[in-house]
Amino acid sequence: MQTVSTRKLLKRPLWPSRITAWLLLGALALQAPARADVEGLALHGFASVYYTATGQQNAPEGNTGFKLDNLDLYLAPSLSDHIRALMEDVVEFDDWHAPGESNGQPVIDIERLQVGYVFNDDVTVWIGRFHTPYGYWNTAFHHGAQLQPTVMRPQFVAFEDHGGILPAHMDGLWATGRAAHGPGRITYDAYLGNGQRILDGALDMQNEGNADAHTAFGGRLGYEFRGGALDTLWIGLHGFDEQVDNFVSGVMTAATNVKVIGGFFHWTPGNWELLGEYYGFQNRAHDGSGPSHSSSAWYAEANYTFFGLITPLARYESDRLSQDDGYFQYLQGGKSYQRELIGVRYDLTPQVALKLDGNHTDATRDGGQAYNEMHFQVAVRF
Partner 1 sequence: MSATFQRWISCLGNAWPRRALLYVPFALALCLPGTGAASPRTATWGDDSGLEWQDEHGASTRLSDWRDRTVLLTMAYSTCREVCSYALHRLEELQQSADHAGTPIEVIVISYDPAVDSPGTWTIYRQHHHFLRTNWHFLTGSSAATRQLAQDINFPSWRYDEHVVHDFRILRIAPGGQIAGSLDWATRNQDFFRTTSITCPSSDPGECKP
Note the residues at the interface with partner 1 (CB under 8 A).
14, 17-18, 21-22, 24-25, 28-29, 31-33, 35-36, 42, 44, 74, 76, 121, 139-140, 142, 144, 147, 226-227, 231-232, 268-271, 273, 305, 307-309, 311, 347, 349-351, 381
Q: In angstroms, what is the minimal distance from the CB of 210 to partner 1?
A: 26
Q: Could you give the 3-state DSSP secondary structure of residue 281?
A: strand
Alpha-carbon distance of 173 to 151, in angstroms, equals: 31
Give the span between the Cα atoms of 338 and 70, in whole angstroms: 26
Of 65 and 183, nearer to partner 1 (C-beta) is: 183
- In the complex with partner 1, the residue whose CB is nearer, 212 or 224, is 224
Nearer to partner 1, 121 or 324 (CB): 121
Q: On the CB side of 80, how many CA atoms lie within 13 Å of its CA? A: 7
Nearer Cβ to partner 1, position 297 or 379? Answer: 379
Q: How far is the CB of 10 from partner 1 (least distance, A)?
A: 13
**CA count, 13 A, side-chain hemisphere, 322:** 18
Q: Which is nearer to partner 1, 144 or 262 (CB)?
A: 144
CA distance 87 to 110: 8
Q: Are 273 and 302 in contact (CB under 8 A)?
A: yes
| Whether 221 contacts 250, CB under 8 Å | no
Shortest Å, Cβ 193 to partner 1? 19
Q: How far is the CB of 348 from partner 1 (least distance, A)?
A: 10
Shortest Cβ distance from residue 328 to partner 1 (Å)? Answer: 30
Task: Identify which of residues 266 and 339 has a Cβ nearer to partner 1 in the complex.
Answer: 266
Comparing CB distances to partner 1, the nearer of 20 and 253 is 20
If the CB atoms of residues 30 and 53 are measured against partner 1, the closer one turns out to be 30
* Runs of H (alpha helix) within the chain: 2-11, 15-35, 326-330
Helix H or strand E segment including 247: strand 234-248
Closest CA to 70 of 34, 87, 45: 45
**Long-range own/partner contacts, residues 360-366 (CB < 8 A, 24 or more apart):** 361/56, 361/155, 361/337, 362/337, 362/338, 363/335, 363/336, 363/337, 365/320, 365/335, 365/336, 365/337, 366/321, 366/323, 366/335, 366/336
CB of 205 to partner 1, least distance (A): 19
Least distance to partner 1, CB of residue 321, Å: 30
CB of 324 to partner 1, least distance (A): 38
